[in-house]
Amino acid sequence: MHWRTVPTAHPTKSTMSAKPGEVDRRWYIVDAEGQNLGRLAATIAETLRGKRSPSFTPHVDCGDFVVVTNAGKITVTGQKLDQKRYWRHSGYPGGIRSRTLREQLDRRPEEVIRMAVRGMLPKNSLGRKQLLKMKVYAGSEHPHEAQSPEPLRLERKVIV
């Protein structure tokens, strides 16, 4: 018998791979008030990647849209409000600047969540494309009512 004519063990079973045009995207809304920054960002990142769907494919953008409201009312543990710093550089010598988390929440609260989620996504063009599906707003108002977003379930693990 030739090696090409050997039948496979399960000819009808195959691995499902999502195609970019076949992805069914949903809209979710998250109220960030009182939520822990890291846990919230991890849940949003896995939703943006599509890891919650049964047809998850790592190299295809099969995630959903996420609308985050009340970004300025997140919480953090410990002394992070005064010790965590956000750095940026203008590109010129001596052009490095920094802000604490408290200052960043006062000035640009949307960027705090955006940067936390960005660090949890892939560092390539796919990750940049997935980050564009997240819409963050400092207040409780958002212009995405027409998409009728449903609330995103945030699992809280109970430690006994």
Residue ranges covered by each domain of the chain: 25-76+107-151
pLDDT for residue 84: 97
| Predicted TM-score of the model (pTM) | 0.86
Q: In this predicted model, what pLDDT tens digit does every residue of 100-113 receive, in sequence order?
A: 999 999 999 999 99
Q: Is residue 100 within 8 Å of 85, Cβ to Cβ? A: yes
Residue bearing tokens 């969540």: 113
pLDDT for residue 3: 54
pLDDT for residue 27: 97
> Which tokens is 45 given?
């990142």
pLDDT for residue 120: 97
pLDDT for residue 43: 96
Sites in the chain below the pLDDT cut of 50: none
pLDDT for residue 55: 87
Paired with 134 in beta bridges are: 66
pLDDT for residue 64: 96
Please report, as a single letter, which amino acid is at residue 92. Y
Q: Are strands 85-89 and 150-151 parallel, antiparallel or unpaired?
A: unpaired
Residue bearing tokens 């295809």: 60
**Yes or no: domain 25-76+107-151 corresponds to CATH 3.90.1180.10:** yes
pLDDT for residue 10: 60
End-to-end CA distance of the chain: 60
